[in-house]
Structure formats: structure tokens, C-alpha cells
Amino acid sequence: MKNQKEKALINFKKAYSLLSKIIKMVEENRYCIDIMQQNLAVIGILKSAHHTLMENHLNFCFRSAIGSKNEIKKKRMINEILKVSKLANK
């Protein structure tokens, strides 16, 4: 579990660094296409971090909740997954 979160953290740090670069590019009035390419790279990194966290959540938290006998916990966990999935697809 910790390994997956560490992978996501690395991706967040990469995205953070790249965002700083993009801000500087905009401030320097760099070519729009170059800025957009870097922006797409950040989006890709953030999507990768999201997928890593989702995989971790499904393999540990979700599996644990679904394996329990607590129906309220199961429903809440399913609703959380649906909510995050809906947000990710906007």
C-alpha cells in the first residue's frame, strides 16, 4: 500500500515541478504550443497519480469494506468510488 502512495507522491512532485516550469513559460510569453505540450504532460502525470491512488484504494480500502458485514460501510464505499469516478470523467 505504501509503495503505491509513494508512486503517486512522486508523480505529484513531478507535476508540481512541471507546473512551475509552465508558469515561467507563460510569464516569458513562450510559444503557445510549447506551453500546451507541457500542460498536457502535467495532465498525464496527474491522471497517472489518480489511477495509482484508485488502484491502491480498490485493492485495500474498498476490498476491506466490501468484505465486511457492515452494509452501511459497503454502500458508503461504493458511493465514494462512484463520486470520484464521475469527477475524474468530467
- For residue 1, the model assigns a pLDDT of 56
Structural domain 2-88, CATH architecture: Up-down Bundle (1.20)
- For residue 42, the model assigns a pLDDT of 98
If one counts every other C-beta atom within 10 angstroms of the C-beta of residue 54, the result is 17
Sequence spans of domains, the chain: 2-88
Instruction: Report in angstroms the alpha-carbon separations of 6 from 2, 3, 41, 45, 73.
Output: 6, 5, 20, 14, 27
User: DSSP secondary-structure letter at 68?
Assistant: S
- Per-residue confidence in pLDDT tens, the chain, 90 aa: 579 899 999 999 999 999 999 999 999 999 999 999 999 999 999 999 999 999 999 999 999 999 999 999 999 999 999 999 999 888
- For residue 90, the model assigns a pLDDT of 82
- For residue 2, the model assigns a pLDDT of 74
